[in-house]
């Protein structure tokens, strides 16, 4: 086969390799963002928490209406982290990046502790679903849903 005929095949193989390579790299990037995001939540740093959300993001908290927009989501988190005894951690269990490389979803778990009215710690665990979109070369949360696995547990 003449070299000129081989060039399209070489280009096709190169592009396929880049696409396949980008997905694991994007998954790792999202995992790194998640680790920093969880740490920011533990430290009650609402600014860092909110840096992960798109301006038009939607947040679906348990037992509450949908919270739309970064400003409203910020208010929701600010209220939660200000609660006495508040502590939260989360981690992804599964991240799937679309072949297109511009959207991904994440499944994971979380654990929250807050004090009840008497000051006694109450904790609960749950799961989350996050939809990510790559905007301007950066991964941003466009939708997040959280729900509890069980009723709150008192310590």
Domains with residue ranges and CATH for the chain? 3-154 (3.10.450.50)
What pLDDT shows up at residue 13?
42
Q: What's the pLDDT tens digit per position in 23-59?
A: 889 999 999 999 999 999 999 999 999 999 999 999 9
DSSP secondary-structure letter at 87? E
Cα 141 from chain centroid?
Answer: 6
Which two structure tokens, joined as six digits, stand for 21? 């390579």
Other CB atoms closer than 10 Å to residue 5's CB: what's the count? 8
CA 112 to CA 87: how far, in whole Å? 6
Q: End-to-end CA distance of the chain: give it in Å, rounded.
A: 73
Q: What's the pLDDT tens digit per position in 54-111?
A: 999 999 999 999 999 999 999 999 999 999 999 999 999 999 999 999 999 999 999 9
């Amino acid at each position: 086969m003449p070299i000129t005929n081989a060039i399209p095949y070489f280009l096709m193989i190169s592009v396929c390799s880049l696409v396949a390579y980008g997905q694991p790299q994007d998954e790792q990037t999202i995992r790194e963002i998640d680790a920093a995001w969880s740490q920011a939540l533990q430290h009650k740093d609402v600014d860092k928490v909110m840096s992960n959300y798109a301006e038009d993001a939607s947040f679906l908290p348990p037992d509450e209406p949908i919270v739309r927009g970064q400003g409203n989501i910020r208010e929701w988190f600010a209220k939660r982290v200000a609660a006495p005894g508040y502590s939260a951690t989360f981690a992804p269990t599964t991240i799937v990046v679309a072949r297109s490389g511009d959207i991904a979803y994440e499944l994971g778990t979380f654990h929250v502790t807050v004090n009840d009215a008497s000051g006694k710690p109450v904790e609960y665990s749950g799961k989350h679903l996050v939809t990510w979109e790559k905007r301007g070369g950066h991964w941003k949360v466009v939708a997040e849903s959280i729900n509890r696995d069980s009723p709150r547990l008192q310590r």
